Structure 1
Amino acid sequence: MNRMSEISSTLAAWLKLLGQASAGVRAPSFANAAAPEQQEILIGALAALAAEALACDRSLTIVTADDGLLPDISNALDLHLRPLCLVLPGADHARPIALRATLSLLKSRLSRTAADSQGPVWTAQRERLRHADALWRMSLAWVARNLRDEAPPAGIFALFPVRIAPWQAIQHTAMPTDWVVLMQDGRLPAQLCSPWPGARHTLLLSWAGGKTQGIVLTDETAQLSAQIELLGQELAELELELATAQGELAAFGARYQMLVAARIVRLDRLLAELAAARLECTPQDAAKVQAAQEARARADQSQREYEAGRCRPEGEQTQSFAPDIELKKRFRQLAQKIHPDRAANEAERAWRTQLMSEANRAYRAGDAVALERIFALWRAGPGAAAGVAVPKPPSFARRQGLIAQRDAIRQRIAAIGAELDRLYGSKLYELFAAARLAERQGRDLLSEMAQRLDRQIAQAESELAALIKG
């Protein structure tokens, strides 16, 4: 059932309560409202409130009782706005992993400067980071070091306009906040059910009759499962970001090869022939000997680079890579489910690795049908073909497996961050960024380069013909 109208009306009611303070009144406002009984409406309205806060340039803090609702809230957030929303688990050992992941995602989105990081919301974020430049740089250095026991820089949460976390993870941060939403379901301490320190407007959502909303985490294994689910979503966001950046660069690289690199090879070959022809006229001229050697070396180097660039995956296209929002959502959802770092054993890891590789290829090809086929394979399970039912491991083994998954996710998040840094530091990406900027100005940078090379090629051909004729 489509709940959009109910979500919209819930959001409107919340916004009215959050804005109820009279103009000029400095005292923080506090309002109480009944939470929606249906979890789908609650989660949708919270995600919509996050989008509204960003659109209005308001800071928002959503305080939950524990980690139970965090995966659903995270998954409901707008895909384009997700890097601006910090979703933190309550556990000390899981919190830095989520924080590093979101910082890496934000850094990547800012570096890509694509359509999904444009507009007033992102302009405001860039201005926010400009004012907090020292903190932003310290935070990125903290991510790069990836030391398990190193605490993040003080005040790091302020880099994000939207923060969503259990009360124990955020109650001592003392951040000025425009809006705070407290979710009281019987587990949020009573002393917190009051105006939030540093907040302009606080909204307390409570459940009628003390009814508990969402998942209640009753034991350590359940808590670990919720943390892994959230961290798995953080990892899927980064996998999507990496796949998108790689797809964009691969498509640009293919077009660069066709329009520019092939012409560079031809020009360098002509310049080498021209230098050799000039040397033939005065073979004892040391300067011309050196010039001919250098020209030949450049021609050989450009030929090698061109050949290396031609070694592309089968089916690589020269059109711009621009996956639609639905394809992105489906890939992210699939990556959450099948990621190899969520495997319980090596056999399952191998199966998941194969599925993940196929999912990446399908996403790069824009093949939504192939992604659905991979989803079907996932649902069938690794033992489906042989009709083998895999028994659930005992609780202790499952707990140990979840801890191993958490550690593997942490390592993969760090690896993706390093790979994104390498990609954005490449010369090809620098050219891609320049081409993207030129495109916004109505120019085609690669076509301009190709035309300039054509003129240089024509001039070199003319000079060579004149030397040979003379």
Structure 2
Amino acid sequence: MSTAIFRRPTPAEAELVRRRLELESLRSTLAARELALGDLRNHLISFEGRYIRQVGILYRQLDHWERRFAVLQVQNLTLEELEAELADDLGNISSADEPCAPRLASETRDQAAEPSLKSLFHALVKRIHPDHATSARDEHHRTRLMAQANDAFRRKDTTILQRLLDGYTISIETLTPEAELTHVLHQIALVQQDILAIDATHQRLHYSEHAQLERDVIAAARAGRDLLAEMAARVKGQIGLAMARYERELHRLKHPNRGLRTKDVLSAETRRTP
């Protein structure tokens, strides 16, 4: 007959077990949402690269010729000054033929923030690295946090990095059940905030201009049309018109119409007199 004594868990311990399960479920949801968001980002970046190669590069050329025409409209420029201005701008059309690296406008970051981003990431790694784990459960916890930290660093998301740094407790194994329950509840709140933020970003990207354009491209393809090719053709036509307008204006400035002079009229009348 077993003489083992079973201790009934306290309300705090029972609640802690329940909240741990809730936290793990939320973390799994967060990981799935992060994966879906990453897939959407990569998909839109790929489409944006295609758009830039087929259409965006042409808009850059159109902007180039419109800038050159605008230079011709500047008042009080001598012909020499005008030619100098146009010569300075001449190199831009070759650079317009080089497609820029695709980047979602909604995902751009301030490059000046790079040093603080790295400092924040390094400070976080020092606290959560799995090499500092004191138990198997602690190691599992740290490994998951490192995955989140690496993803946030890759996306240059200082908000998530700061939350991870603020919310991490090094000596979680030494906490009382009540203290650990408070910590877990805090983590649950943070994960819920992260899920909401990711869902908002996903919605914003899903309904962004490039996402809508891609849906239009797909719909057109189903109808047998190449929408990007049609857009490229229209822009090429606009480029041709802009170039022709520029050439006409340049010719007018170099060869201004001085009107009929009196001696020219007399010479013409003399030639018509028998």
Normalising by structure 1, what TM-score? 0.31
- Which structure shows the higher helix fraction? 2
Greater RCO (Cα-Cα under 8 Å, separation 6 or more): 2
